[in-house]
Amino acid sequence: MAKKPKTAVTPTRAEDYPEWYQQVIKASDLAERSPVRGCMVIKPWGYSLWENIMRSMDDMFKQTGVKNAYFPLFIPLSFLEKEAEHVEGFAKECAVVTHHRLERGPDGGLVPAGVLAEPLVVRPTSETIIGDSFSKWVSSYRDLPILINQWANVVRWEMRTRIFLRTSEFLWQEGHTVHATEKEARERTRLMLDVYAREASEYLAMPVIKGCKTPSERFPGAVDTLCIEAMMQDRRALQAGTSHFLGQNFSRASGIRFQGADEIEQFAWTTSWGSSTRLIGGVIMIHGDDDGIIVPPRIAPAHVVLLPIIRKPEESEPVLDYVNRLAQELRDKRYHGRGLVVEIDNRDIGGARGWDWIKKGIPVRVEIGPRDIAKDSVFVGRRDRSHKDKRNMVRDQFVGGIVGILDEIQTALYERARIYRDEHTVTIDDKGAFYRYFTPDDLEKPEIHGGFALSHWCGSAECEEKLKDDLSVTIRCIPFEGEFGHSAETGRCIVCEEKSAQRVVYAKAY
Amino acid sequence: MAKKPKTAVTPTRAEDYPEWYQQVIKASDLAERSPVRGCMVIKPWGYSLWENIMRSMDDMFKQTGVKNAYFPLFIPLSFLEKEAEHVEGFAKECAVVTHHRLERGPDGGLVPAGVLAEPLVVRPTSETIIGDSFSKWVSSYRDLPILINQWANVVRWEMRTRIFLRTSEFLWQEGHTVHATEKEARERTRLMLDVYAREASEYLAMPVIKGCKTPSERFPGAVDTLCIEAMMQDRRALQAGTSHFLGQNFSRASGIRFQGADEIEQFAWTTSWGSSTRLIGGVIMIHGDDDGIIVPPRIAPAHVVLLPIIRKPEESEPVLDYVNRLAQELRDKRYHGRGLVVEIDNRDIGGARGWDWIKKGIPVRVEIGPRDIAKDSVFVGRRDRSHKDKRNMVRDQFVGGIVGILDEIQTALYERARIYRDEHTVTIDDKGAFYRYFTPDDLEKPEIHGGFALSHWCGSAECEEKLKDDLSVTIRCIPFEGEFGHSAETGRCIVCEEKSAQRVVYAKAY
């Protein structure tokens, strides 16, 4: 019997992917469940990932003219009601504030008191409360466009939660824009999707497909929802960002009117777009391996960890001196707009030290002991390679080459994910083959199976519904022209065999 | 009769300071009231101020080893109850979530549904929920210290709200640390106060007095509360940041125990420290004048606005070319760790354009027309000087000197505020004089009066209470040794004439 390979995380992805996900988050110290139902505590290593994601996205937003602002956490019930589809979409998962005080009850315990005249909903999204402000800010075409973003927490009382992917509270950004014309609003919707796609591919090393959602998967109240979709290592799709063209629905609901250059008063055209801490879940699932997570260098909380090897007390001073000088030289370098972040880990905990950093997914580990110093060399491990694959490098070559090494890792992660996705994307025209593709061998056991199926769709909600019921498969997107998976060829719907204008991306999804 | 001077903001500070505060916020487009009771909308110009405050503080926090994290918005009622003084301090102003769903009621309207088993409080501060995590993170002295900060929104259901100064929801940072010894925790409490003092003086151009609060003004549950206090232009004090030594109160409440090097299990020592969007209110009130706000260059959303002067259509191209090139040169410069932010305002709205920027408080305004270009000069106005005081500068001298100009403005604002405070700080030993000092001439009308009184205090809560009742005057702080206002001389309490160990700072306060 072959010996089971030792991995830092148990179970492995192949053994039990959902459980691996929970364990790898624990092992990498990214986050933990909180005692508050469905809410998470984002620990420093995880939060730093989020800070780097925020910084890179915020820069891109601002380059397109967007400015940040901040709107209230609470939404009066009456505001939420203004857009009919919108409120139906969120009513089932709203945290509702009904009291503004605590009092001692008859048994001495604290009880809610001070009933609010109108209940307040903790924002699940902010179209209606921001729309109210916009209605005051806009009166003439000269006030347009308005391009606003906010970084905030939102609450959606999900019944089944999963850390980072679906939590009752999460952190996100939500952009909201107002335009004088439909054309301009549609262009903005697309522009912001392109920003998300850039964030995913260039920073998260996450290849994505850009497309639009079917009506049943649209944001409640939107005319069109655009999205980016990525494949995780269990071959499920993750929606990594959405951008909504809201038409005039929300401007009618909130009364966002303006007088055009022609002096005619009209409703404005609005968009909204969001991405969240869910992206961290995506980074874990697309790059992680059985030894832990792997963080793409461009969003890494730290790029390099230096591990001094000290076996005798008298080695301590010269080794630490050498390590400190090396750290300083590395920290003087810049990598994609920020200084290189270098950690020195001098804990005396044996082999657990190196493994801690492997589990945390730091891009580069460097061991330095007296023998390395004597040769003026360092012993370098890269997280995109096996933990056994460590190599000697001349110290100055390492320092001179570190930025290149980080770029190589960034590219390698992207390519690995892209190849994996492409390998598990198939074109299927036969219904039986489609059903077999999405059916695991062992229905009792979690198992990695399926992938992206490029198949035809007639356009009916019924056919979507059937696949959802039968296989838990949904249409992730209708890919844009020129996008991966796009095909303008006509064909027959995979379910009903009615005419179809183009292939769409089917998958199981998070 | 003398003609009333024309000012951009009505009323002036002297006429009605509280109303001036509301109007100057409107005129500068910083923020506005929201339809949600007591909550504010922070508009882009205001939010950008906050972003710059966050960035500068965050850098300083990180330099002291603090890492950012994120904890749940909701606190179970039972958690809040764990520390007796703490819960009493916040019970009267808690927003309480009691339901997690909305349903259609009998009349078709939405009503809260899905009652929570345990009500959740929207965090007014996070000691108890973070303490719960800390209790899991700490088991040995090797796990200490823990140095955590979070940037977050908090809710305190205030009955009387005032934009930026006291709002139901506000943005803040709250730091929370855990230590093995009392000494270390006390040192951290002081270290973080020093960071706040640096932020205030070096970034906000706000001179502050560092000291500690009297027991009656302490944070609920704290052993000691340290604070920084600044004087506004109505001579009231603003508490601009607090740092709390919590002793073992919260570690007992949350069960934060560790095994020391001596293998004895003990409760840890904790601190917490916070500063908020209230700082923006302080910046407005300490520097603003009757023409609008004045933003200190180091936290300015933008440093320079270029105002092209175009009187004939054919001037447009050469003037805009010149302005764009100038903007690019300026943007290539760095000012205190970030690129110089330069706006170009080419709106055709006459004199309102220059006034808009004066009201917004941008440090430097530059007018550029064909005649300036012919002489290769620019016409420069500084916000720390009268709006009439504009000067010609040779273009290259301006570009070469802009960083120096900004530094001059930063220093001038600080010095002006310091002189104002010092001029309105008096030493009083006579009770009658003390009462007269804090009594306005006309009790019916808002009026700028009083200031900081350095007077003696016996240490009793009764004497504090009496001054609060009689004059609305409180002890702002007991200044640290070596601090402005500190005096170790003994004397007699200004109220009861009992012995007093040192003078304290008395003032009316926000």
Task: Please indicate whether, in this complex, the C-beta atoms of B129 and A91 are within 8 angstroms of each other.
Answer: no
What's the average model confidence in pLDDT over B252-258? 97
pLDDT above 70 (res B96)? yes
The nearest alpha carbon in chain A to B349 belongs to A142
pLDDT of residue A275: 98
Query: Which residue from B41, B46, B76 is facing A71, i.e. has the nearest CB?
Result: B41
- Tell me which residue of B152, B83, B82 sits closest to B124, measured CA to CA: B152
Q: Model confidence at A3, in pLDDT bands (50, 70, 90)?
A: low
Quick one: CA dihedral B9, B15, B17, B19, positive or negative?
negative
What's the average model confidence in pLDDT over A62-77? 97
Q: How far is B499 from chain A (nearest CA, A)?
A: 40
Q: What is the residue whose two structure tokens read 């409490």?
A: B189
Query: Which residue from B36, B67, B101 is facing A94, i.e. has the nearest CB?
Result: B101
Average pLDDT, chain A: 96
Query: Which residue from A69, A91, A129 is facing B42, i.e. has the nearest CB?
Result: A69
Cβ contacts of B114 on chain A, cutoff 8 Å: 157
3-state secondary structure of A360: helix
- Tell me which residue of B399, B390, B391 sits closest to B326, measured CA to CA: B399
Residue A108, phi then psi, degrees to nearest 5: 90, -10
Burial B378-392 (b: 16+ CB within 10 A, else e): bbbbbbbeebeebee
Q: At CB < 8 A and 24+ separation, what contacts does B137-142 make? A: B138/B178, B138/B256, B138/B257, B138/B258, B138/B268, B139/B257, B139/B258, B139/B259, B140/B258, B140/B259, B141/B180, B141/B258, B141/B259, B141/B260, B141/B261
3-state secondary structure of B425: strand
Task: Please indicate whether, in this complex, the C-beta atoms of A101 and B94 are within 8 angstroms of each other.
Answer: yes
What would the pLDDT profile of A427-476 be if each residue is shown by its tens digit?
A: 999 999 999 999 998 877 778 999 999 999 999 999 999 999 999 999 99
Task: Please indicate whether, in this complex, the C-beta atoms of A101 and B92 are within 8 angstroms of each other.
Answer: yes
Mark out the alpha helices in A364-480 (DSSP H runs): 370-375, 395-423, 431-437, 461-471
Rg (CA), chain B: 26
Distance CA A402, CA A326 (A): 12
Kindly give, in sequence order, each residue whose CB lies less than 8 Å from that of residue B254, ignoring residues fewer than 6 positions away: B82, B128, B131, B132, B134, B135
3-state secondary structure of A11: coil
Kindly list the distances between the CA atom of residue B74 and the CA atoms of A37, B14, B117, B170, in Å, as whole numbers in the listed order: 9, 43, 14, 15
Kindly list the distances between the CA atom of residue B79 and the CA atoms of A111, A153, A305, B87, in Å, as whole numbers in the listed order: 13, 21, 38, 9
Mark out the alpha helices in B84-126 (DSSP H runs): 84-90
The nearest alpha carbon in chain B to A41 belongs to B71
Query: Which residue from A36, A101, A111 is facing B76, i.e. has the nearest CB?
Result: A36
Q: How far apart are the first and last CA of chain B?
A: 36
What would the pLDDT profile of B213-222 be if each residue is shown by its tens digit?
A: 999 999 999 9
Query: Which residue from B35, B51, B119 is facing A132, i.e. has the nearest CB?
Result: B35
What would the pLDDT profile of B390-431 be if each residue is shown by its tens digit?
A: 999 999 999 999 999 999 999 999 999 999 999 999 999 999
What's the average model confidence in pLDDT over B133-146? 97
In A105-184, at which residue ranges do the beta strands (DSSP E only) sit?
Answer: 110-122, 146-155, 169-179
Rg (CA), chain A: 26
Cα dihedral B26, B32, B37, B38, rounded to 10, equals -80
Distance CA A83, CA A98 (A): 22
pLDDT above 80 (res A5)? no
- Tell me which residue of B12, B5, B4 sits closest to B288, measured CA to CA: B12
**Element spanning B137, H or E:** helix B127-137
The nearest alpha carbon in chain B to A102 belongs to B91
Query: Which residue from A36, A50, A98 is facing B72, i.e. has the nearest CB?
Result: A36
Q: Model confidence at A83, in pLDDT bands (50, 70, 90)?
A: confident
Please report, as a single letter, which amino acid is at residue B437: Y
Question: Cis bond leading into B18, ω under 30°?
Answer: no
Strand bridging mode A146-155 / A110-122: unpaired
- Tell me which residue of A344, A370, A338 sits closest to A357, measured CA to CA: A344
Distance CA A395, CA B423 (A): 61
DSSP state of A235: S
Q: Model confidence at B487, in pLDDT bands (50, 70, 90)?
A: confident
Cβ contacts of B153 on chain A, cutoff 8 Å: 73, 152-153
pLDDT above 70 (res B89)? yes
Query: Which residue from A40, A69, A152 is facing B43, i.e. has the nearest CB?
Result: A69
Cβ contacts of B34 on chain A, cutoff 8 Å: 71-72, 129, 132-133
Cβ contacts of B129 on chain A, cutoff 8 Å: 34, 36
Asked if B505 and B487 count as a contact pair (C-beta separation under 8 A), the reply is no
Strand bridging mode A146-155 / A67-68: parallel
Least confident of A148-162, B222-236, B337-351, B440-454: B440-454
User: How many other CB atoms sit within 10 Å of the CB of residue A127?
Assistant: 30
Kindly list the distances between the CA atom of residue A48 and the CA atoms of A198, A348, A442, B264, in Å, as whole numbers in the listed order: 20, 25, 39, 34
The nearest alpha carbon in chain B to A147 belongs to B44
- DSSP letter string over A196-214? HHHIIIIIS----EEEE--
**Element spanning B305, H or E:** strand B304-308
A453 phi-psi bin (left φ>0, alpha ψ -120 to 50, beta other): beta
The number of helix segments (H) and strand segments (E) in chain B equals 14, 27
Distance CA A217, CA A229 (A): 13
Distance CA A34, CA A24 (A): 17
pLDDT above 80 (res B445)? no
Question: Cis bond leading into B72, ω under 30°?
Answer: no
What would the pLDDT profile of B298-342 be if each residue is shown by its tens digit?
A: 999 999 999 999 999 999 999 999 999 999 999 999 999 899 999
pLDDT of residue A350: 87
Question: Cis bond leading into B363, ω under 30°?
Answer: no
Q: Which of B70, B80, B90, B103 to mutate to test the interface with A (most CBs of A within 10 A)?
A: B70
Least confident of A186-190, A300-304, B94-98, B446-450: B446-450
Cβ contacts of B110 on chain A, cutoff 8 Å: 77, 80-81, 87, 91
Kindly give, in sequence order, each residue whose CB lies less than 8 Å from that of residue A65, ignoring residues fewer than 6 positions away: A145, A147
Q: How far is B51 from chain A (nearest CA, A)?
A: 9
Which structure tokens are listed for A171?
Answer: 């952190």
Q: pTM, whole model, 2 decimals? A: 0.96
Q: Model confidence at A4, in pLDDT bands (50, 70, 90)?
A: low
What would the pLDDT profile of A364-419 be if each residue is shown by its tens digit?
A: 999 999 999 999 999 999 999 999 999 999 999 999 999 999 999 999 999 999 99
SS3 content of chain A, % helix, strand, coil (to 5): 35, 30, 35
Asked if B151 and B54 count as a contact pair (C-beta separation under 8 A), the reply is yes
The nearest alpha carbon in chain B to A157 belongs to B100
Average pLDDT, chain B: 96
Q: Which of A32, A41, A86 to mutate to test the interface with B (most CBs of B within 10 A)?
A: A41
Burial A232-244 (b: 16+ CB within 10 A, else e): bbbbbbbbbbbbb
Q: What is the residue whose two structure tokens read 């380059």?
A: A63
pLDDT above 70 (res A1)? no
The nearest alpha carbon in chain A to B89 belongs to A102
Cα dihedral A147, A150, A151, A154, rounded to 10, equals -130
Please report, as a single letter, which amino acid is at residue A293: I
- In this prediction, the answer to ipTM > 0.90 reads yes
Distance CA B450, CA A232 (A): 66
pLDDT above 80 (res A205)? yes
pLDDT of residue A443: 77
Asked if A201 and A210 count as a contact pair (C-beta separation under 8 A), the reply is no
Q: In angstroms, how far is CA A316 from the centroid of its own chain?
A: 42
Cβ contacts of A69 on chain B, cutoff 8 Å: 41-44, 46-47
Asked if B308 and B342 count as a contact pair (C-beta separation under 8 A), the reply is no
pLDDT above 70 (res A151)? yes
3-state secondary structure of B326: helix
Q: How far apart are the first and last CA of chain A?
A: 36
pLDDT above 60 (res A2)? no
3-state secondary structure of B231: strand
pLDDT above 60 (res A91)? yes
Please list the residues that pair with B392 across neighbouring strands.
B379
Which structure tokens are listed for B93?
Answer: 């102003």
pLDDT above 60 (res B482)? yes
In B442-489, at which residue ranges do the beta strands (DSSP E only) sit?
Answer: 452-456, 474-479
Asked if A234 and A165 count as a contact pair (C-beta separation under 8 A), the reply is no
